[in-house]
Amino acid sequence: MEIPSENIIVIGGSAGAYELIVEILDSLPTAFSDAIVIVLHRNSKYETKIECSLSKRLNRNVISVRDKLPILGNHIYFAPPGYHTLVEPDHIFSLDISDPVQFSRPSIDVFFESVAAVYGKHATAFILSGANNDGSEGLKTLINYGAVCYAQNPQEAVIETMPQAGMQSSKKVKVLSNQQIIDYFSQLT
């Protein structure tokens, strides 16, 4: 039986974030100990094959979150469109179909807040390009639980609204350039 990851890295993004996410995942070392979970705003009306295409491109397992799936290290997960993704205390995912938050389901705020309650200081969060404020409340909650939080430099984001709101959520949110974000992931062990 595989043991759930003690540490988690979470990434939230929306419009304009996908290309940077691909660069991040492309930079990852062959093996790393943390779980990486990405909440990307996607419309559930349209079938996307992000996980499948990234698995082929990166030659690694990129998984769509399923209900009751354990959160394992050296795994990359994407929140599925049409569901809020949550983390339960025993380090498994759960999916929820309650109302959209910030016009989004999955909501970055909902996910980040559940991560904060379970992982606390063992979480690291990144907020990337996007056109609304989703993620800013979640970053504030993560920081209150001792997590380390980063925002993409708004000047380098395709759409600056989301990282700008993330920066303004707390003085403890650190701003990184795109290259600094990529470097962070390339140095995971």
Q: Which amino acid is at 8?
A: I
User: 119 in helix, strand or coil?
Assistant: helix
Type of residue numbered 70: P
- Annotated active-site residue 41? The verdict is yes
Active site residue 44: no
- Residues 134 and 181: their CA atoms lie apart, in Å, by 20
Q: Which of 14, 107, 129, 169 is catalytic?
A: 14
Choose, from 41, 75, 84, 114, the residue flagged as catalytic: 41
From the centroid of its chain, how far is CA 22? Answer: 13
Per the structure block, which two tokens stand in for 126?
């990144």
Q: Which helix (H) or strand (E) holds 37?
A: strand 35-40
Classify 153 as helix, strand or coil. coil
Considering the candidates 5, 75, 114, 134, report the single residue annotated as catalytic. 134
Q: CA-to-CA distance for 188 and 43, rounded, in angstroms?
A: 31
Rounded to the nearest angstrom, the gap between the alpha carbon of residue 181 and the centroid of all alpha carbons in its chain is: 13
For the chain, helix, strand, coil in percent to 5 are 35, 25, 40
14 catalytically annotated: yes
Catalytic residues: 14, 41, 134
